[in-house]
Amino acid sequence: MGNDPIHKVLDQLAEETLLIEADDLPTLGKIHGLFEELQKLAIDASLPYADQVSSTIGRITDVMLADSQNPEEDLNQTRLELKAWQKGLPSDDISSAPPKEEPSNTEDDPFLDNLRESTLKMETLAMSLEKDGGAEEIEELLRLIHSLKGESGVLGLDQLNELCHELETILQDGSVENPTDRLLSFLDWVKATQLSQGESQPFDSVMEIIHNGPSEETSDQQSMVDDYPSTPGKLSQDPSFYTDFSTESLEHIEAAEEILLESGEGDLGSDDINTIFRAFHTIKGVSSFLDLPDIQVLTHRAENVFEKMRSKKLSMSGEIQDLCFKVLDKVKGLIATLKESVSQGQLPPTDSEVPQFVKALDNVLNQKKGEEPSVSAPDIPAKAEGSGHKKVKEASSVKVATQRLDQVINLVGELVTSNAMISEEIQQHSSKTLMANVNHMKKNVNELQALAMSLRMVPIKNTFLKMSRIVRDLSKKMGKQIEFTMAGEDTELDRNMVDKLGDPLVHMVRNSADHGVESPEERQEAGKDPIGHVQLSAFHKGGNIVIQIKDDGKGIDRDVIFAKAVEKGLANPNQEMSDSEVFQMIFSAGFSTAKVVTDVSGRGVGMDVVRKNIENLRGRIEIESKKGEGTTFSIHLPLTLAIIDGMVIRVADQRYIVPTVAIHQTFSAQDQGQYSIQEKGKVLKFRDHLVPILDFEEIFGDPDCKGEGNILMVLGAGDKNVAILLDEIVTQQEVVIKSLHETMKNIKGLSGSAILPDGTVGLILDPVEISALLKESP
Amino acid sequence: MTTEPPTDDNSLACKVLTFFLGNEEYGVDVLNVQEIISMVKITKVPKTPQFVKGVINLRGLVIPVVDLRLKFGMDSMGYDKKTCIMVVEVKRNEGDEEKLTSMGLVIDKISEVLSLESADIDPPPEFGTSIRTEFITGVAKRDDGIKILLDIHTVLSDEEMNHLQDVIPA
């Protein structure tokens, strides 16, 4: 219908009006002209908003002639109209009230759902951009930001629109070497204002950060301007500072030298680059404070070289390595001179050689990647495209309301049950074809069930990615260097579990970063790599899924924990406890051995909540730790919250289900000798222990529940055992767990209910609660 | 507990499903009734009040079943062919959210669906009924007798469901 010229005009108008000021006459004139063009086109194409364009033109004229009562409002109105027209809607659809920045927060809002997904994607991309990112990440980011810009424009989210626009510009012209911090600030703002996650900085600060980078960066750029004083001056600080500086700087230089020596001529790993960068950075910082321009200028240039290497704009070469050694030697020399001067109470004189070094470093900095200053070094290939970049083709997907999903799963469960009932009946009537057909149906139904169960499974990847961000932020905040790795992130979990795992994982990761991993200095003193490692991994093991948080920090000191436990009255000083038992004490409420409570952790309210959350998921958590070497937390969870393998038993006329994992052994009540201990009820001798026996009347306090007591079943409950008296073992069955009504959830001894194969409900017993009853009985 | 007024407080008609408990006829707003099923085997749940008969399986959902006669302190009657289970949706508060949950009521006999105008409904009497006034939203007078209109959300609220738990002897 010839709409393309119209859209061109609309786009132009949108751009022009975006940031226009009411007194910008030339641009207003331009806009006026564009609107007239638009009017002609719209009338020709009989578009619904054609008449409204004329009133807009009138409005613009008013603003130009300063006849408008509220020019800002008019311009705003115009922008809104443009947005509607871009969508092809008449502008009547827009209310004249100023647009709200936050759309209503309904659960089904597709914009918000998309936004959640894209912010997570952008965060991941931003962070990998920092590590070893390149063109692919930038392209993807641009795509996402561009879409977001468009959407926010249509929805009237002006601030978001502007921020996107700025980011797009910056990413496109590649002027910023390391945009990650700016991207993350932007994403934090988006999460806070649109998704109600966290606190937001004011719009202006975020815009400022996007333009100029986080404040640290800005001050660095300014310090590029250096002055050389030509005569030696008086010491500006206390001499001891200089001495300390000398000693520490020499240490840093040695560390850098060692790395360079070990790496040979090849490319340096990112950790190594970081170390050397830090070395120069630290020396530069202190030398600036101490008024040592030579050292400062030199280390600053060197720092820049390594910064470039960090962002993969420069690779190590033989030449550069030589230069580095020379620079390091020079700095050593400068420090030696410094020491002499300080002993005479003076600052060192200017070193005439320094400018040459600076020039050499500048040459390296100005080099394009892959270029070599001299011929002899072999060509370092440009970063191989696709190296380590897995571009997994994203499978297309459909959004489905969770409620609907749950309904499907419920009904499939019912289908399985009815199918089982039919199969049973069919056995009696032996028409071969009938049986064959029913069996065929059974296969289909079973397959459907497996599929339905898998609908609830989601990979744990997103949760792990969130942790990655937390580790990065924490390590920056605490001045530690922590590298975060993941393994098995594609492992799938029931979606309910993933939600509930979030908080405990965050807590434990923070602990590792805060209490576990030491500062780089401490680590170096201990002879460890100054960069700490935190690894999250997930894998299947024996019908369970295991999630591990592993750090190579200072480990848990068993003695400190034990002492604290004794202090809190949780343990007897003479008690003999295994290491793992001692470590489990950490989970007691109010327990914290942190000497300093940071705002990150140390208040002692976290770990007990963590354990409770995990127990609610029917899981358990184990701790392994070696002092000085590190700690590993292992969370064991059942594969799905929904199904357990159970033994159906009958007591009197009721049927219950006992989780098979809890069953140790079953005996006929007549055979086994039962020993009686007065007033405490009967006990059973089992594997050299005495195990208390409970019948169902005792468990539920109801005489109707009592059965004949033909069979004894020994159950394991934590580290204790308990035996129950029942009438009959019916069958072994995999059952789907259904939770009980709210008011029944607290019944001691029951952990839920399940639908039995014949369609009736069976109650699931909880061995841990049953054994807990023993403590209460008089 | 405050009495909740009937859902339609003006002359708009409201529809009520009536049923018998013994000889008395009761009514529940039809909007709250999900379905009616014939009697099925109820799984007993220990340590629940006497009027909670247990739980049943409703197409994959496990819901509690309450015997209203026992709840209202009447004598229990045997279950016969006419006894059925009325599945209702009850509002309850979970944190600050209001959610709907399904529950079953054992009733002796289903009667009919009545359209009532507010003119037909009288406020609950102060005394004279066998059940607590907070459960009653009003009384409908018809030619064939009086129907006591129940506020099902109050009758089956969490507090009510837990109410007698402490009293049950160990």
Per-residue pLDDT of A415-428, as tens digits, reads 877 887 787 777 77
pLDDT higher than threshold 90 for residue A197? no
State whether residue A546 is helix, strand or coil: strand
* Six token digits for residue A713: 């079943």
A58 and A167 fall within a common domain: no
Give the H/E segment covering residue A689. strand A689-694
The shortest C-alpha distance from A74 to chain B (Å) reads: 42
Tally of domains in chain A:
6
Confidence at A223, pLDDT banded by 50, 70, 90 = very low
- C-beta neighbour count of A312 within 10 angstroms: 18
As to burial, measured by CB atoms within 10 angstroms (0-12 exposed, 13-18 middle, 19+ buried), residue A46 is: exposed
Which of A410, A654, A747 lies at the smallest CB-CB distance from B59?
A410
Q: Which amino acid belongs to residue A408?
A: V
Structure tokens at A340: 């002499």
Residues A465 and A541 in one domain: yes
Res. A656: pLDDT tops 90: yes
Verify that A140 and A204 share a domain, yes or no. Answer: yes
**Nearest-CA distance B74 → chain A (Å):** 22
Question: What residues have CB less than 8 Å from A221, skipping those under 6 apart?
Answer: none
Which tens digit of pLDDT belongs to each residue from B88-118? 999 887 766 778 889 999 998 999 998 888 8
Of A323, A241, A329, the C-alpha closest to A285 is A241
Q: What is the DSSP letter of A303?
A: H
Q: Is B138 on the interface with A (CB under 8 A)?
A: no
Tokens of A254: 């040695």
What is the 8-class DSSP label of residue B43? B
Question: Token digits for A449?
Answer: 């069930």
* Structural domain for A432, as ranges: 402-456
Q: How many CB pairs under 8 A join A and B?
A: 79
Phi first, then psi: give them for residue A436, nearest 5 degrees.
-60, -45
Rounded to the nearest 5 degrees, what angle is found at the Cα of A91, between the Cα atoms of A86 and A96? Answer: 125
Residue A217 pLDDT: 40
Q: Are residues A329 and A429 in the same domain?
A: no
DSSP label at A234?
Answer: B
CA distance A664 to B75: 45
Pairing of strands A761-765, B14-21: unpaired
Q: What are the tokens at A63?
A: 């603003």
Which of A463-467, A571-575, B60-64 is least confident?
A571-575
For residue A176, tell me if it sits in a domain.
Answer: yes
- Residues A261, A349 within the same domain: yes
Average pLDDT, chain A: 77
Both tokens assigned to A59: 């409005």
Which chain B residue shows the shortest CA-CA distance from A763? Answer: B45
**pLDDT score for A203:** 78
Res. B168: pLDDT tops 50: no
Report the percentage of chain A scoring pLDDT > 70.
83
pLDDT tens per residue, range A463-504 = 888 888 788 888 888 888 888 899 988 888 887 788 788 888
Residues 619-658 of A with CB under 8 A from B: 654-655
Position A71 scores a pLDDT of: 76
Rounded distance between C-alpha atoms, residue A496 and residue A458, angstroms: 9
Both tokens of A328, joined, read: 């390091």
- Parallel, antiparallel or unpaired: strands B121-122 and B84-94: unpaired
User: Among A366, A393, A418, which residue terminates a domain?
Assistant: A366
Residue of A403, A410, A416, A744 to mutate, testing the B interface (most B Cβ within 10 Å of its Cβ): A744
Looking at the fold, whether A51 and A174 belong to one and the same domain comes out as no
The answer for residues whose C-beta is within 8 angstroms of residue A559's C-beta and 6 or more apart is none
Would residue A103 count as lying in a domain?
A: no
- The Cα A273–Cα A256 span in angstroms is 9
- How many Å apart are CA A752 and CA A713, to the nearest integer? 20
Q: What is the maximal distance between C-alpha atoms in chain A?
A: 111
The secondary structure of A502-541, three-state, reads HHHHHHHHHHHHHHHCCCHHHHHHCCCCCEEEEEEEEEEE
Any B CB within 8 A of A102 CB = no
Minimum-distance CB partner of B47 among A411, A700, A736: A700
Cα–Cα distance measured from residue A259 to residue A241, given in angstroms and rounded to the nearest whole number: 27
pLDDT for residue A414: 79
Q: In a mutagenesis test of the A interface, which of B40, B43, B99 is the best target, namely the one with the most A β-carbons within 10 Å?
A: B43
**CATH number for A121:** 1.20.120
- Look at A744 and B55 and tell me if their CB atoms are within 8 Å: yes
Of A429, A456, A483, which one is at a domain's C-terminal end?
A456
Give the pair of three-digit tokens for residue A742.
């709210």
Which one, of A725, A737, A705, A722, lies nearest residue A768 by Cα? A722
Which is more confident, A317 or A105? A317
As a whole number of angstroms, the distance between CA A708 and CA A668 comes to 12
- Looking at residue A314, its pLDDT comes to 79
Q: Which ranges constitute the DSSP H helices of A367-460? A: 402-428, 432-455
Strand order of the β-sheet with B121-122 is: B109-116, B14-21, B24-29, B145-150, B136-142, B121-122
Residues 77..106 of B with a Cβ closer than 8 Å to A: which? Answer: 92, 94, 101, 103
Q: If pLDDT is split at 50, 70 and 90, which confidence band does A234 have?
A: low
Q: Which two tokens stand for residue A572?
A: 């007897």
With CB atoms and an 8 Å threshold, state whether A743 touches B56: no
- Report CA dihedral (A55, A58, A59, A63) to the nearest 10 degrees: 170
Torsion sign over Cα A550, A551, A552, A557 = negative
Minimal CA separation from B161 to chain A, in Å: 7
> φ and ψ at A376, to 5 degrees?
-65, -35
Asked whether residue A162 falls in the same domain as residue A270, the answer is no
Q: Are residues A488 and A540 in the same domain?
A: yes
What is the predicted pLDDT for the residue at A209? 79
ipTM above 0.95, yes or no: no
User: How far is Cα A677 from Cα A682, in angstroms, rounded to an integer?
Assistant: 6
A48 within a domain of the structure (yes/no)? yes
Cα separation values, A398 from A395, A408, B8, Å: 10, 15, 41
User: Would you place residue A598 in the very low, low, confident or very high pLDDT band (cuts 50, 70, 90)?
Assistant: low
All domains in chain B, ordered by first residue: 14-163 (2.40.50.180)
Are the C-beta atoms of residues A255 and A283 closer than 8 Å to each other?
A: no
A234 or B152, higher pLDDT: B152
Specify which residues B149 forms β-bridges with.
B27, B138
State residue A458's pLDDT score.
Answer: 83
Tokens of A530: 């100054």
Backbone angles phi, psi at A523, to 5 degrees: -65, -40
Burial status of residue A107 (CB atoms within 10 A of its CB: 0-12, 13-18, 19 or more): exposed
The pLDDT value given to residue B5: 53
Angstrom distance (rounded) from CA A30 to CA A8:
15
Residue A672 corresponds to which amino acid? Answer: Q
A632 pLDDT more than 90: yes
A352: which residues sit within 8 A by CB, 6+ positions away? none
Query: How far is the C-alpha of B48 from the C-alpha of A112, rounded, in Å?
Result: 43
- The yes-or-no verdict on residue A175 having pLDDT over 90 is no
Interface contact flag, B43 A761, Cβ < 8 Å: yes
β-strand partners of A106: none
Asked if the model's pLDDT at residue A169 lies above 70, the reply is: yes
- Same domain membership, residue A532 and residue A443: no
Q: Which of A265-269, A382-386, A443-447 has the lowest mean pLDDT?
A: A382-386
Q: Give the three-state DSSP class for A658.
A: strand
In a domain, A392, yes or no: no
Whether the CA torsion A24, A29, A35, A37 is positive or negative: it is negative
Whether the predicted model's global pTM rises above the 0.80 cut: no
Contacts of A568 (CB under 8 A, 6+ apart): A588, A590, A591
Task: Give residues with Cβ within 8 angstroms of A756, minimum separation 6.
Answer: A648, A655, A657, A733, A735, A762
At A375 the pLDDT is 28
Chain A hits for B92, Cβ within 8 Å: 742
Distance CA A765, CA A663 (A): 11
Question: How many of the other CB atoms lie within 10 Å of CB of A664?
Answer: 15
**Contact status, residue A762 vs residue A655, Cβ threshold 8 Å:** yes
Give the pLDDT confidence score for residue A729 in this predicted structure.
92
Structural domain includes residue A536: yes
**A548 lies in the same domain as A572:** yes
Residue A702 clears pLDDT 60, i.e. is over it: yes
Among A655, A736, A743, beta carbon nearest to B162: A743
* Interval A733-759 mean pLDDT: 81
Which residue is closest to A740 within chain B, CA to CA? B62
Report the alpha-carbon distance of residue A299 to residue A143 in Å, rounded. 38
Domain shared by A408 and A538, yes or no: no
By mean pLDDT, which of A86-100, A200-214, A479-493 is the weakest? A86-100
A747 to chain B, closest Cα gap in Å:
7
The span from the CA of A455 to the CA of A408, in Å, is 10
Q: Which of A66-75, A349-358, A670-679 has the highest mean pLDDT?
A: A349-358
Partner-chain contact B101 A741, CB within 8 Å: yes
Query: Is residue A262 over pLDDT 80?
Result: no
Beta bridge partners of B140: B121, B147
Q: Is the pLDDT of residue A556 over 60?
A: yes
Higher-scoring residue by pLDDT: B123, A650: A650
Cβ-contact B125, B139 below 8 angstroms: yes
Q: Does A157 fall in a domain?
A: yes
* Contact criterion met (CB < 8 Å) for B45 and A744: yes
In a domain, A654, yes or no: yes
Confidence of residue A1 (pLDDT cuts 50, 70, 90): very low
**What chain B residue is nearest to A700 in terms of C-alpha separation?**
B46
- The pLDDT confidence band at residue A548, using thresholds 50, 70 and 90, is very high
Instruction: Say how far apart CA A700 and CA A750 lie, in whole Å.
Output: 10
A386 lies in some domain: no
Q: Average pLDDT, stretch A258-275?
A: 74
Q: Check which CATH number belongs to the domain holding A341 and give it.
A: 1.20.120.160
- ∠ CA B161-B164-B165 to the nearest 5 degrees? 85
Nearest chain A Cα distance for residue B98, angstroms? 14
- Whether residues A426 and A480 share a domain: the answer is no
* Dihedral sign (CA B142, B148, B152, B153): positive
pLDDT band at residue A641 under the 50/70/90 scheme: low
* A705-728: average pLDDT: 83
Cα–Cα dist A656/A410, whole Å: 21
**Amino acid at the residue B37:** I
What backbone torsions phi and psi does residue A160 show, to the nearest 5 degrees?
A: -60, -40
- The pLDDT tens digits for A290-344 are 878 888 888 888 888 888 888 877 778 777 877 888 888 888 888 888 888 887 7
Q: What is the pLDDT of residue A551?
A: 92
